[in-house]
Chains A and B, each alone.
Chain A
Amino acid sequence: MIDREQVLHVARLARLRLSDAEVETMTGELSKVLDHIEKISELDLDGVEPTSHVVELENVLREDVPRPSISREQALEQAPDSDGTGFRVPSPGA
Chain B
Amino acid sequence: MSADLLGLTGAQAAAKVAGGEIDAGELFGAYRERAAAEKLNAFLWVAEEAPAVADGPLGGVPLAVKDLFCTEGVHSAAGSRILEGYRPPYTSTAVRNLTEAGATLLGKTNMDEFAMGSSNENSGYGPVKNPWDETRVPGGSSGGSAAAVAAGLAPWAIGTDTGGSIRQPASLCGIVGLKPTYGAVSRYGMIAFASSLDQAGPLTRDVTDAALLFRHMVGRDPCDSTSTGHPEDIKLPEAERVDGMKFGVPPELTGEGVEPGVKEVFEATLKLLEDLGGELVEVGLPHSPHGIAAYYVIAPAEASANLARFDGVRYGPRKGNGDLLSLYEETRAEGFGDEVKRRILLGTYALSSGYYDAYYGTAQKVRTKIADDFRAAFEQVDLIVTPTSPTVAFGLGERTEDPLAMYLSDALTVPMPLAGIPAISIPGGLSDGLPVGIQLAGPAFSENRIFEAAHALEGAIGFDGSSARA
Contact call A80/B318, Cβ cutoff below 8 A: yes
| Among candidates A14, A17, A70, A89, residue contacting B89 with C-beta atoms closer than 8 Å | A70
What's the least CB distance linking B296 to chain A, in Å?
A: 6
Residues of B within 8 A of A91 (CB): 324
| B225 on interface, CB distance cutoff 8 Å | yes
What's the least CB distance linking B63 to chain A, in Å?
A: 25
| Among candidates A14, A16, A45, residue contacting B365 with C-beta atoms closer than 8 Å | A45
Could you mark each residue 27-42 of chain A with 1 if its beta carbon is under 8 Å from any beta carbon of chain B, else 0? Answer: 0011011101111110
| B323 on interface, CB distance cutoff 8 Å | yes
Contact call A29/B403, Cβ cutoff below 8 A: yes
Interface size class of B (residues with CB under 8 A): 35 or more
What's the least CB distance linking A86 to chain B, in Å?
A: 10
Known contacts A16-B332, A26-B345, A57-B225; is-contact A48 B315 (Cβ 8 Å): no
Could you mark each residue 358-369 of chain B with 1 if its beta carbon is under 8 Å from any beta carbon of chain A, else 0? Answer: 110111111111
Known contacts A48-B368, A50-B364; is-contact A30 B342 (Cβ 8 Å): yes
| A81 on interface, CB distance cutoff 8 Å | yes
Contact call A37/B345, Cβ cutoff below 8 A: no
Residues of A within 8 A of B349 (CB): 2, 6, 10, 30
Contact call B352/A50, Cβ cutoff below 8 A: no
Residues of B within 8 A of A40 (CB): 290, 293-294, 362-363, 366
Contact call B346/A57, Cβ cutoff below 8 A: no
| Among candidates A13, A16, A75, residue contacting B352 with C-beta atoms closer than 8 Å | A13
Tell which of A11, A39, A91 has the most Cβ of chain B within 10 Å.
Answer: A11
29 contacts between A and B (CB under 8 A): A2-B349, A10-B345, A10-B348, A10-B349, A14-B308, A14-B344, A16-B345, A30-B346, A33-B296, A36-B404, A37-B293, A37-B297, A39-B290, A40-B293, A40-B362, A41-B358, A43-B366, A45-B362, A48-B369, A50-B361, A51-B364, A55-B420, A75-B314, A77-B89, A78-B86, A80-B312, A80-B316, A90-B320, A94-B323
Q: Which residues of B contact A (CB under 8 A)?
A: 86-87, 89-90, 182-183, 196, 222, 225-226, 228, 287, 290, 292-294, 296-297, 304, 308, 311-318, 320, 322-330, 332-333, 336, 338, 341-342, 344-346, 348-349, 352, 358-359, 361-369, 371, 403-404, 407, 419-420, 444
3 A-B pairs closest in CB distance: A54-B420, A50-B364, A80-B318
For the A-B complex with A70-B89, A77-B89 known, give 19 more contacts whose Cβ atoms are closer than 8 Å: A10-B349, A10-B352, A17-B333, A22-B341, A30-B346, A38-B293, A40-B290, A43-B290, A49-B368, A53-B226, A78-B87, A78-B315, A79-B314, A80-B315, A89-B324, A90-B324, A94-B322, A94-B323, A94-B324
